[in-house]
Amino acid sequence: EAQVTQNPRYLITVTGKKLTVTCSQNMNHEYMSWYRQDPGLGLRQIYYSMNVEVTDKGDVPEGYKVSRKEKRNFPLILESPSPNQTSLYFCASSFSLGTLGDTQYFGPGTRLTVL
């Protein structure tokens, strides 16, 4: 089944404790992206990747890191989480090399709470 998977789905952590949210897609997509969703603000892009080893900042990259060592995986790293990073996170992928005309497929979401 073609899908985007994320883990964990739910996470409660404390300030400063490094964490990684994994994202994997099995559709051979080149474009992958991370978003956060906060009430009233819609989806805001954190980072995106147009291909392996190619990543770029989205609109809200502060406090996050990403890597794209393999085409299928795009982990999101919070080196020192803070309470303002409490949010719902979505990973998404699409086939195109950043032309933006292709449908994005979203993962199931990760609900993160930082105490």
56, 70, 79, 80: which one binds another protein (CB under 8 A): 56
Q: Does residue 1 interact with another protein by CB under 8 A?
A: no
Any residues with CB less than 8 A from the CB of 28 and at least 6 apart, and which? Answer: 71, 72, 95
Q: How far is the CB of 53 from another protein (least distance, A)?
A: 15
Q: Does residue 53 interact with another protein by CB under 8 A?
A: no
CA–CA separation, 93 and 106 (whole Å): 7
CA end-to-end distance (rounded Å), the chain: 36
CA–CA separation, 111 and 90 (whole Å): 9
19, 50, 52, 77: which one binds another protein (CB under 8 A): 50
In the complex, the residues that contact another protein under the rule CB under 8 A are 4, 33, 35, 40-45, 48, 50, 56, 58-59, 90, 98-109
